[in-house]
Amino acid sequence: MNLIMNDMVKDIEKYMQDETNEIITFARKLINTKTENPPGNEILAVSVVEEYFNLLKIPYKIFEKEKSRTNIIGYIGKKERTQGALSLLAACHLDVVPAGDGWLKDPFDAYVENGRIFGRGSSDNKGQMASLMAVAKYLKENESRLKGQFILAGVADEERGSALGMEYLLHECGIDADYAIIPDVGHNMQMIDVTEKGALFLEITSFGKQAHGSTPERGVNAVWNMITLLNRIKQYTFRQTSHPLHSPPTINLGSIHGGTVANTVPATCKAQIDLRYLPGDSPVDIINDIKNLIKEVEDQDSARFDLHVTSDQPSTNVPINNPLVEIITKHTAAIIGTKPKPMGQSGSTVTKQLIQRGITAVGFGPGDHDEAHAANESISVQELIDFAKIMALISMEMLT
């Protein structure tokens, strides 16, 4: 068995090195499609993937909840799997954040320099999609050996919550798998995202009474009341304050808007708050605690508030000794010589939605963590090749 595995490693290593130019070309084609979200227009990138799927004779389906907000999913291997065979989903998002300022060159005209591909989406997340297309090509050529199924998804709307992407695919399109790898975490394949903080977004509105600024006693200042409440929330203590793979929980005041001019008592004020809580903590408890703080301020002052939960993405926690983590670790060590370590993430990936649907999902992939969303975004070509090698090995072991 070891001899067979060693031969497979050598075969895949050579194959993916030979695919270098094709990986670069495909990544550049994807990057050059302008899929800034908003508005998205992922259909532009989907057209690139669709052309390649057709060339390789990979069957695929297209799903679109809204016009031009397109998802594409390719299937390699047996749909009706034999007993004990598995399905593995790999998903990359095709939308990117707006380019912003500070670019040395056109962010949607990808180029290669010093062994790196530059352009918006190169690291987040189109370079990874190019790697996985090379994996798809290899698996298609070896499809007769597969007992299970490899599912490659290019999804929409990840940068703004996935309502038109992974959420839609899981809840309305019947997408399913046994395991999933999401290459959307960076860390140069040195880390495996096995746990993510919960993300609770709140919008609070403070209601007052408008009056002239020269007679503030005749009104109720919604901004002052909001400041009082926000200072209470700033001092809030979470129930779970530590975790072996996570930094402590956090509270961020993301925006506050109230009033119009200096000489008018403001009648309304809105604030948006981002709370990141640890696995084991309860969003229901946190919301109730915030409600209690609101009641305390309302009882003490002439205040009235409205609380609205705009988003609640639960924390997730995959055991570090599960088979997916073990197989990623083994093949990463074989290709790049180091074993990735389990990590906790403060941000969110679509592993959350997958885990909620009963799919064992982790985050793992190439790219520098600080490249995503930055000006002059780039990714190492060799990392994309190495990632393709690792994913091909993982797929062949799991699916054969």
CA pair distance 43, 69, nearest whole angstrom: 6
Sequence letter at residue 269: C
Q: What is the pLDDT of residue 80?
A: 67
Percent share of the chain, pLDDT over 70? 98
pLDDT digits (tens, 9 = 90+) for 307-359: 999 999 999 999 999 999 999 999 999 999 999 999 999 988 999 999 999 99
DSSP 249: P
Whether the pLDDT of residue 1 is over 60: the answer is: no
CA 242 to mean position of chain CA atoms: 23
- The 8 Å CB, 24+ separation contacts for 79-83 are 79/149, 81/147, 81/148, 81/149, 82/147
CB 178 within 8 A of CB 360: yes
* Token couple for 288: 């109730």
pLDDT digits (tens, 9 = 90+) for 188-219: 999 999 999 999 999 999 999 999 999 999 99
Torsion, CA 238, CA 186, CA 48, CA 137, rounded to 10? -120
Overall pTM > 0.85: yes
CB 110 within 8 A of CB 355: no
Cβ neighbour number for residue 7 with a 10 Å cutoff: 10
pLDDT digits (tens, 9 = 90+) for 68-90: 999 999 999 987 656 778 999 99
Residue 54 burial (10 A CB sphere; 0-12, 13-18, 19+): exposed
Q: What is the pLDDT of residue 78?
A: 84
More confident residue, 57 or 80: 57
- Using the structure block, give the residue that is written with the tokens 């190169």: 122
CB 378 within 8 A of CB 126: no
pLDDT digits (tens, 9 = 90+) for 238-248: 999 999 999 99
CA pair distance 35, 41, nearest whole angstrom: 5
Cis bond upstream, residue 59 (ω within 30): no
CA 6 to mean position of chain CA atoms: 33
Domains of the chain: 2-196+315-399 (3.40.630.10), 198-313 (3.30.70.360)
* Token couple for 237: 């203590």
Cis bond upstream, residue 38 (ω within 30): yes
pLDDT digits (tens, 9 = 90+) for 364-383: 999 998 999 999 999 999 99
pLDDT digits (tens, 9 = 90+) for 129-176: 999 999 999 999 999 999 999 999 999 999 998 999 999 999 999 999
Of 26, 110, 45, 4, the closest CA to residue 385 belongs to: 26
Q: What is the pLDDT of residue 6?
A: 80
Please, what is the average pLDDT of the chain?
A: 96
Residues 6+ apart with CB under 8 A from 374: none
Residues in the chain: 400
CA pair distance 174, 161, nearest whole angstrom: 19
The alpha helices in the chain, defined as continuous H runs, are: 2-18, 20-31, 43-56, 127-141, 166-172, 222-234, 283-300, 323-336, 351-356, 381-399
Residues 6+ apart with CB under 8 A from 197: 246, 249, 276, 277, 278, 279, 315, 344, 345, 346
